[in-house]
């Protein structure tokens, strides 16, 4: 029994994905020993939020076959919503201090960002993708991709026209002394952001595995016709998928408001990073996206640490090009499609 | 009549395939639709199942018009369609596929009963409960496809080529299971290449050629028909 498990574990580790993951962990530990534990801390905090972005991207690709290039804009909408929710509450708190409310205020802002992101997702699906799908499904991947670029331009310029180009940021969500973990001081915001990402990923996982609706989403990603045959309302699932995906991007944008103030094109960096992740992990592979997000985050942190901060886009991009040439399905890639399978 | 198709016209885009197809199936009947390759048999089933919207004509089920309804709504009315390629969820296990078949069943007890029923009908499936559907053999996939369709306790089955790609022995198995379903009061409309076998087991049949119904009648009579014998039975 135990030997069987060990054997299975050994097989997994020997696969490309396994080797890469083990290598990443070893590198993370070594560099943390030599340079300081902040490397792991930074990786984990950025990785968590990147995972939320990438899950959404993988989901939309796996279920709807849409190569989403407006994903960063839902991140931007999340950060904007959080800003305009948090600032008034903070101002109110300045006048009437209240401990419970000041702990809850960031959570309320993030929740608002999730709702706003989800709402925008629903609107994009209902107004745009639904109508394209009804008109024609020929050349779907290309046409829907071009539409997402259009959505992106629209939202970026919309932000600029309505809210202006200045940085709309906050210094911190949670006041209080930083936590001390492994001799590194980690700000409360970073800590809570990480905990939040783990919680959300966990909830999402449970939703996909254990609920009837989650199973329906997976079914649609594996066989649309089959899903209709068992009575699944495709358009309902498509709306829900967009809502979830954009809502998760909204959470990421809101939770990182203290690092990335909101401005029109704030979503560009997270968009590119999450695309790196899903190319690395294999498009439409949600589980791979979570692991891949931490690996890309590590790569970025290490590049900044060892090579210099101007290079943090160059190295991942070069790596992505290599992957596209040698392993176009991604390192976790499989022939069969499905959003929650490896 | 449980299912009544009246003057159905259907096709793909500008391609007009079915012309004026009318057929009907009584509750408890075992009816077949036969015809040469490309006649439009699969198209007929897809149109009834709501996966293609008809150009003209009407499909009535259980006294209500269902033509023009989306596929999932037709499925919820109690028509289970089993396509030629099965459309299984290949990255889910056999068990999960069966549970997906019961997607519209909200009653947990009913779901359990159906599961027991399907496993009793196809004992092979129970042994492979945790295998991914994508890794199963052709025969097993066929059984899983039929099993999944039965999970929602449908009023009627539409089966496309149950014997396609199967060895003779497995074909017998699949036909036996359809027989069992009929004996238990089920209603089936089956499309088949294997005309001899099909006319042997079914009650009534329709012959479809070039998108039109050319002949219809009790299966035994069709099997004796000179045109059918010449075209399909090679005599
Ligand atoms: N998705 C499609 N798009 C365009 N044409 C199609 C499509 N599917 C089928 N056809 C065409 O419709 C006609 C009827 O096809 P259909 O699959 O209904 O035939 P069939 O009677 O089931 O044949 P077979 O016995 O080979 O399965 C064929 O000429 C086929 O080429
Ligand atoms: Mg066919």
| pLDDT higher than 60, residue B119 | yes
Q: Is residue B109 within 6 Å of ligand 1 at its C-beta?
A: no
* Each residue's pLDDT tens digit, A242-258: 999 999 999 999 999 99
Average pLDDT estimate for A39-51: 88
- Provide the number of structural domains found in chain A: 1
How far is it, in rounded angstroms, from Cα B152 to Cα B162?
19
How far is it, in rounded angstroms, from Cα B3 to Cα A40?
65
Is residue B6 within 8 A of residue B25, CB to CB? The reply is: no
As given in the structure block, the two tokens for residue B58 are: 């009407």
Average pLDDT estimate for B147-163: 94
Average pLDDT estimate for A221-235: 95
Question: E strands, B13-55, where?
Answer: 15-25, 30-34
* Each residue's pLDDT tens digit, A115-149: 999 999 999 999 999 999 988 888 898 999 999 99
pTM: 0.89
| pLDDT higher than 90, residue B93 | yes
**Domain around A233:** 42-271
Kindly write down the DSSP assignment for every residue of A4-48, as one continuous string.
Answer: HHHHHHHHHHHSHHHHHHHHHHHHHHHHHHHH-THHHHHHHHHHH
The answer as to whether A177 is a domain residue is yes
How far is it, in rounded angstroms, from Cα B110 to Cα B105?
7
The answer as to whether A65 is a domain residue is yes
- Chain A residues with CB-CB distance to B under 8 A? 212, 215-216, 218-219, 222-223, 225-234, 336-338, 341
| pLDDT higher than 50, residue A335 | no
Average pLDDT, chain A: 88
The answer as to whether A327 is a domain residue is no
CA of A132 to the centre of ligand 2 (A): 29
| pLDDT higher than 70, residue B176 | yes
Query: Using CB atoms, which residue from B87, B96, B104 is nearest to A226?
Result: B87
The answer as to whether A286 is a domain residue is no
Is residue A193 within 8 A of residue A45, CB to CB? The reply is: yes
As given in the structure block, the two tokens for residue A144 are: 């829907």
Which residue's CA is minimally distant from atom 11 of ligand 1? Answer: B38
pLDDT at A323: 79
The answer as to whether A139 is a domain residue is yes
Ligand 1, residues B9, B10, B15, B189: which to mutate, most atoms within 8 A of Cβ? B15
**ipTM for the complex shown:** 0.92
Give the gap in angstroms from C-alpha B96 to the nearest C-alpha of chain A. 9
Average pLDDT estimate for B76-91: 94
- Among A17-21, A196-200, A265-269, the range scoring the smallest mean pLDDT is A17-21
- Among A14-18, A22-26, B17-21, the range scoring the smallest mean pLDDT is A14-18
The answer as to whether A324 is a domain residue is no
How far is it, in rounded angstroms, from Cα A63 to Cα A234?
10
As given in the structure block, the two tokens for residue A252 are: 């990421």
Give the gap in angstroms from C-alpha B66 to the nearest C-alpha of chain A. 14
List the shell of residues around ion ligand 2, using CB closer than 5 Å.
B 42
CA of B221 to the centre of ligand 1 (A): 27
Are the Cβ atoms of A231 and B70 closer than 8 angstroms?
Answer: no
pLDDT at A333: 59
The answer as to whether A196 is a domain residue is yes
Which residue's CA is minimally distant from atom 5 of ligand 1? Answer: B12
pLDDT at B168: 87
- Among A95-99, B56-60, B82-86, the range scoring the smallest mean pLDDT is A95-99
The answer as to whether A34 is a domain residue is no
Which residue's CA is minimally distant from atom 26 of ligand 1? Answer: B37
Give the gap in angstroms from C-alpha B43 to the nearest C-alpha of chain A. 14
Rounded alpha-carbon distances, angstroms, from residue A112 to A47, A105, A116, A248: 22, 11, 6, 12
As given in the structure block, the two tokens for residue A279 are: 């190319």
Burial of A144: CB neighbours in 10 Å, binned 0-12, 13-18, 19+: buried
Q: CA Rg, chain B, in Å?
A: 17
Contact residues, chain A, for B134 at CB < 8 Å: 336
Among the atoms of ligand 1, which is closest to the Cα of residue B35?
Answer: 21
Average pLDDT estimate for A79-93: 94
Among the atoms of ligand 1, which is closest to the Cα of residue B84?
Answer: 27
Average pLDDT estimate for A149-178: 93
How far is it, in rounded angstroms, from Cα B62 to Cα B203?
20
């Amino acid at each position: 029994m135990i030997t069987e498990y060990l054997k299975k574990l050994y097989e997994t580790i020997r696969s490309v994905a396994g080797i890469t993951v083990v290598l990443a962990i070893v590198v993370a530990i070594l560099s943390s020993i030599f340079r300081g534990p902040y490397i792991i801390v930074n990786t984990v905090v950025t990785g968590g939020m990147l995972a939320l972005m990438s899950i959404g991207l993988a989901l939309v690709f796996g279920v709807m076959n849409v190569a989403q290039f407006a994903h960063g804009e839902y991140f931007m909408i999340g950060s904007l919503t959080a800003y305009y929710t948090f600032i008034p509450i903070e101002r109110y708190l300045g006048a009437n201090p209240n401990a419970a409310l000041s702990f809850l205020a960031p959570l309320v802002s993030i929740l608002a960002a999730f709702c706003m992101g989800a709402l925008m997702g629903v609107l994009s699906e209902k107004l745009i993708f639904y109508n394209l799908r009804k008109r024609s499904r020929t050349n779907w991947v290309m046409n829907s991709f071009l539409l997402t670029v259009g959505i992106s331009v629209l939202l970026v310029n919309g932000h600029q026209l309505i809210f202006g180009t200045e940085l709309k940021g906050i210094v911190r969500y949670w006041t209080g002394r930083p936590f001390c973990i492994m001799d590194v001081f980690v700000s409360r915001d970073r800590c809570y952001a990480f905990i939040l990402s783990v919680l959300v990923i966990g909830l999402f996982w449970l939703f996909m595995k254990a609920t009837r609706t989650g199973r329906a989403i997976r079914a649609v990603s594996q066989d649309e016709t089959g899903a209709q045959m068992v009575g699944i309302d495709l358009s309902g699932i498509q709306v829900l998928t967009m809502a979830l995906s954009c809502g998760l991007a909204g959470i990421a944008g809101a939770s990182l408001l203290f690092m990335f103030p909101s401005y029109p094109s704030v979503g560009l960096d997270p968009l590119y990073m999450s695309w790196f992740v899903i190319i690395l992990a294999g498009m439409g592979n949600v589980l791979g996206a979570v692991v891949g997000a931490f690996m890309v985050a590590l790569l970025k942190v290490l590049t900044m640490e060892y090579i210099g901060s101007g290079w943090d886009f160059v190295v991942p991009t070069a790596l992505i090009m290599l992957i596209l040439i040698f392993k176009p399905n991604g390192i976790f890639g499989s022939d069969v499609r499905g959003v929650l399978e490896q | 009549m449980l299912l009544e198709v009246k003057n159905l016209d259907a096709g793909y885009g500008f391609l007009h395939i079915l012309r004026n197809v009318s057929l009907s199936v009584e509750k408890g009947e075992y009816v077949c639709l036969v015809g040469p390759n490309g006649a439009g048999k699969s198209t007929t089933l897809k149109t009834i199942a709501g996966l293609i919207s008809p150009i003209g004509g009407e499909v009535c089920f259980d006294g209500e018009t269902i033509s023009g309804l989306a596929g999932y709504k037709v499925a919820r009315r109690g028509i289970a369609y089993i396509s030629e390629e099965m459309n299984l969820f290949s990255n889910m296990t056999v068990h999960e596929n069966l549970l997906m078949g019961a997607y519209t069943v909200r009653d947990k007890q009913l779901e359990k009963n159906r599961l027991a029923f399907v496993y009793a009908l196809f004992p092979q499936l129970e042994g492979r409960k945790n295998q991914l559907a994508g890794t199963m053999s052709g025969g097993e996939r066929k059984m899983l496809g039929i099993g999944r369709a039965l999970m929602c306790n449908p009023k009627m089955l539409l089966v496309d080529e149950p014997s396609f790609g199967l060895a003779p022995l497995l074909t017998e198995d699949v036909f036996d299971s359809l027989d069992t379903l009929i004996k238990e009061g089920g209603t089936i409309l089956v499309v088949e290449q294997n005309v001899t076998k099909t006319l042997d087991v079914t009650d009534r049949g329709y012959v479809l050629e070039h998108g039109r119904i050319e002949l219809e009648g009790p299966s035994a009579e069709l099997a004796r028909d000179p045109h059918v014998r010449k075209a399909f039975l090679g005599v």
